[in-house]
Structure formats: structure tokens, C-alpha cells
Amino acid sequence: MTPPYRAEYIWIDGTVPTSKLRSKTKVIPAGEAPPVWGFDGSSTNQAPGSNSDCVLNPVFVCPDPIRGGDDKLVLCEVLLTDMTPHPSNTRAGCARVAKKFAKHEPWFGIEQEYTFFEGARPMGWPDSGFPAPQGGYYCGVGADEIFGREIVEAHTTACIEAGLAISGTNAEVMPAQWEFQIGPIGPVECSDHLWVARWLLYRVAEDFGVSATLYPKPVRGDWNGAGAHTNFSTNAMRESYAPCEEAAKALGPKHDLHIKQYGYAIEERLTGLHETAHWSQFRWGVSDRGASVRIPWQVARDKKGYIEDRRPNANMDPYTVTRLVTDTICSAFDAKSKPASARKAPAR
């Protein structure tokens, strides 16, 4: 008889102000799909002790590259016991908006930055004082510049073996800070893959005795923060340039709404220094890494492509960010393309 397999059920909890990932293992008979399951919501800030049951509903299943074999990773959304979305479930709103604007074929590519820590210090930093100032670390090579590459390589291999849409990695400006990119794929898919890639990052680093953090400003002072630049396109943007500028402009009037939901402590990171625009201002520009939204130079050259929203923090929720960006830009496109007759009475 074929032995059972292990399914690691992964979900997003209710920790405030930034949700954490949780997971637990279910042993499932060979040949059976991962069923709906449950957990104690009173231990994850998702329910009171007197009524503690929450529901785990599988939404994305992939091979488990840590355990191998027939074992699986099972990303879940959290439901209430009446099978409606739990208040902490931001995926449901993302899926609703993705469906509403599906005709625009929105794609996302997210650049996830993060920092390795050993104990209370970034990995490889001296016990007291600081490493040499920033300048040579970004995309660097050599033991004096690079801390944690063996973990990054193991994580990238794990993401590929899980079948995630990982598209690259690089060492970042601050030593011990790194980035991986997911995409370009649809809003819900990109967010599902990013959450699983984050879980794999923590899990792989655990085996090295290292923790990874998404905190947006892990070291105060003259050190870059950690962001999650969010690249976006629709079918119209992938075909011509005018919609790319229209998309960048459409984000302006909704700046405050977006900033509030782009990750806790965003004002610590978006200071106006270190390749950011100040959190209180909105500005877009071609090739401008000091802007809120950048149109990459090759997009201006090719006269088509995508835009980069540089505002989201590393600790943002991708379901929330991709929902907001899709809603804001696609709503603006729809308002513009409505026939004149739908906006005002036709002239006779």
C-alpha cells in the first residue's frame, strides 16, 4: 500500500499590526486531496477563546521542496465556521477585484526585499559598531561584502522546485539585505506565490540558524530600508505607452488610501532619502528612483511595458497591494473608455 503523504497547511494569522505566517502538518492518505481543516484561532489573534475554531480552506497546493517526495505545501485562506471569509482574510477581496477587472489582464511582478539576522544583529555585521558604509554591497561578490548567499541559493532552489514563479534574486544595498522577485503573473497568483515564497524563506533560513525579517527599516540611520516594489501592467500597457503614463497618473489621487495600506511603519522607510520619495508626497517619473512611481527607461524606449510602484514596504500584504493597484488603475481606465453617451446625455 502506498504510504500517506504530509501536507504542510500554511496560513496568514491575525497578528497586529503585521500578520505572521503559521503552519502545521496533516498526514493524508495517498491519492486524497488536502481537505478543509481547522485550527485554534485564539492562539493566532483570530478568535476569542470561548469560540476559538477557525477554518483552513486550501487555495493553492504545490510540491513541498523541503520534504520532497509526494509531500505538499498547502496555502490556505481563513474562513469563519459559516464558511464566509474571516476578517483577517484579505485574499477574498483581492480575488473579487481580480475577477471584476479580468478583461484588463492585470499582471504583477513583486520585488521582495528582506534582511537576514543572527540574534539581534544583521547577519555578518560586527558585534559592535557598523560595517563599511553602503556603496559596494548591491549585487556584490566576496566574503567581505556578501552575507548569507548559501541561504539565498537554497531558497531559490526551493522556490523553483515548488513551481513558484520566482524570476530572480540579488544582493541589496545594505549588507545582509537581499531581494527575490515573483512574477509577472495575475494578482491572486502573484500574492499566493509570494506568501509561499516568504514561508520557504523563513523555513530554509531556520535550518541555517538564521532569521529573515521583512521589517521595512531594520537599521536606523544611513542604511537602506526594505521595500516590495510592485510592478504592474495591463494588456493595454503591454501594447502601447500612453496607458503606462495614464496608469502612473491614476495612482496620484489615491496616494493616501494606498500609503495607509502599504505596510506598517512606512514613514520610517519613505523618508525621501535612500531611493525613496517622502511618504507624504506623490510623484511619478521616467527612470526616477526617487519617485513614488517609476516608468523604467526601457518602457519609455520600447513605448510599452509596465510601471513600478516603489512605495510598498517589504512587510506589505500582497493581497491588499495588488487589490488596490488593480482597482485604482483599472477603474480609471474604465471611466476613460466609457462611451461619451454613458457619461452625458447624447447630443441630438
CA-closest candidate to residue 283, choices 258, 308, 248: 248
Q: Give the nearest distance from C-beta 31 to Mn ion in angstroms.
A: 42
Residues 191-230 as x/- pattern, contact with ligand ADP by CB under 6 A: --------------------------------------x-
- The yes or no reply on residue 238 touching ligand ADP (CB under 6 A) is yes
CA-closest candidate to residue 63, choices 3, 6, 147: 6
Q: What share of the chain is helix, strand, coil (3-state, %, to 5)?
A: 30, 25, 45
Footprint of ligand ADP on 117-176 (CB under 6 A): 167-168
Residues 93-112 as x/- pattern, contact with ligand ADP by CB under 6 A: --------------xxx-x-
Q: Which is nearer to ligand ADP, 47 or 162 (CB)?
A: 162
CA dihedral 224, 227, 205, 14 (to 10 degrees): 130
- The yes or no reply on residue 183 touching ligand ADP (CB under 6 A) is yes
Residues 268-297 as x/- pattern, contact with ligand ADP by CB under 6 A: ------------------------------
CA-closest candidate to residue 31, choices 72, 68, 75, 76: 72
Q: Give the nearest distance from C-beta 137 to ligand ADP in angstroms.
A: 15
Kindly tell me which residue out of 34, 184, 263, 312 binds ligand ADP, with binding defined by CB under 6 A: 184
- The entry of Mn ion, ligand ADP, none near residue 231 (CB within 5 to 8 angstroms by kind) is ligand ADP
Q: Give all strands (DSSP E) within the chain, no chain letters.
A: 5-12, 21-28, 37-40, 53-63, 72-79, 107-118, 121-122, 166-171, 177-185, 211-213, 230-233, 284-286, 293-295, 307-309
In the block, which residue shows the cell 494606498?
Answer: 258
Is 91 in contact with 75 (CB distance < 8 Å)?
no
Q: Which is nearer to ligand ADP, 33 or 242 (CB)?
A: 242
Q: Give the nearest distance from C-beta 281 to ligand ADP in angstroms.
A: 20
Q: Give the nearest distance from C-beta 66 to Mn ion in angstroms.
A: 26
- The entry of ligand ADP, Mn ion, none near residue 183 (CB within 5 to 8 angstroms by kind) is ligand ADP
- The yes or no reply on residue 229 touching Mn ion (CB under 5 A) is yes
- Which residues pair with residue 150 across a beta bridge? none
How many whole angstroms separate alpha carbon 178 and alpha carbon 138? 9
The closest residue (CB) to Mn ion is 229
- The yes or no reply on residue 181 touching ligand ADP (CB under 6 A) is yes
Q: Tell me, what DSSP letter sits at residue 213?
A: E
- Which residues contact Mn ion (rule: CB under 5 A)? 111, 179, 229
